[in-house]
Amino acid sequence: TRMMARVLRSSLTKSQPVGLTGNSNCTSHENTKSQVQDISLCVGNTMLTPNKLSKHLQSSSYIAPAKKLARRCVQIKYEEEPKIDRLSSNQNGIHSDTHPQAINRNSNDEYNHCAGTKKLKMEDEEKALQSRWEPPHWQEVLKNIRQMRAARDAPVDSMGAQKCTDVDAQPEIYRFQVLVSLMLSSQTKDQVTHAAMAKLRAHGLTVDNILATDPDTLGQLIHPVGFWKKKVVYIKKTCEILRKYYGGDIPPTLKDMCKLPGVGPKMAHLCMDIGWGKLTGIGVDTHVHRISNRLGWTGRDTKTPEETRIALESWMPEEIWSDTNLLMVGFGQQICLPVGPKCSQCLNATLCPFGINPLSKSPKINSPLKLPVTGKAC
């Protein structure tokens, strides 16, 4: 019966006429076999007996449809995923929630190596971009400043720290005088500093002589420099350090120079340059700080002279560091004044963001980046 059913299904698929002949009533299990022997199956014009039926089923024309109708049992094998420790994966920068695939140690190493290389490459590119940045037209601006300072007749040219010393003194005494003149120059005009240094040299400006001078006398000698009372204490303590640790000379390194009381980065860089002839950085005072921000040479607004120094040294050629302080201080004393700058006399009026701005003459404005850019240029 199963074979006949298969033939019936295949014949129906091929639209062939199928018929049954003989006695097909099976009343019990015992006589089923004998009754099947009497059944004939008519497929198309062919009469098939059970014996011929078995041979007929072996033909490809009837087996093929049967195979098509048979269900195929497909066994799917799943490869077991290796267990990955969540903690170690997170440490490697791979989260199991976002990476459900099986990841072995080699792939982790390759991923970390590629990610690290990409990060380093991005950092290098960022540093390269920062190192390549420089203010627009800065060479032309600097050339104009040098032209305006060609006469060298500013107060700093005749009364600056380099003009307050005894050039004929012994080298260690000369260096000590440079240090003292820089300590006095803080928050003090060059004219006042120069006058105080003249009185000190007449008194005897050496480490031993200053240590032998009482504080009141020393105060009278340096008055009226800014914060003269504090500077008396600073100078006395500095002399004690110089005699104890440096044999009466000044420190030979920038780091030790900055450790002296009352000595900041600006003084230390200038003292290393003037006293020792060692270029360690740009000396940035209030003039250099103000002018650099007005010109846009810092890239962004800087709040302190030390920030300005770092910004300038990031792009400015080292061969012009030494002349920068003297050049820009004199320019700030004569033209680019703190209050009421003389923009109409400046050769950089059309190149300077501060000079182009109509509010640049306001004494309350210090940064060109904080000003509106509406109105006519001055």
Active-site residue set: 266
Classify each residue of 366-377 as buried b or exposed e, where b means 16 or more C-beta atoms within 10 Å of its C-beta.
ebbeebeeeeee
The helix/strand/coil state of 43 is strand
Classify each residue of 260-293 as buried b or exposed e, where b means 16 or more C-beta atoms within 10 Å of its C-beta.
bebbbbbbbbbbbbbbbeeebbbbbbebbbbbbb
Q: Strands 40-43 and 46-48: what pairing? A: antiparallel
Query: What are the distances in angstroms from CA 226 to CA 183, 189, 231, 235?
Result: 10, 9, 8, 14
One-letter amino acid of 73: C
A 10 A CB-CB count for 354 gives 27
The helix/strand/coil state of 193 is helix
- By the 8 A CB rule, do 313 and 136 touch? no
The helix/strand/coil state of 52 is helix
By C-alpha distance, which of 347, 349, 340, 346 is closest to 376? 349
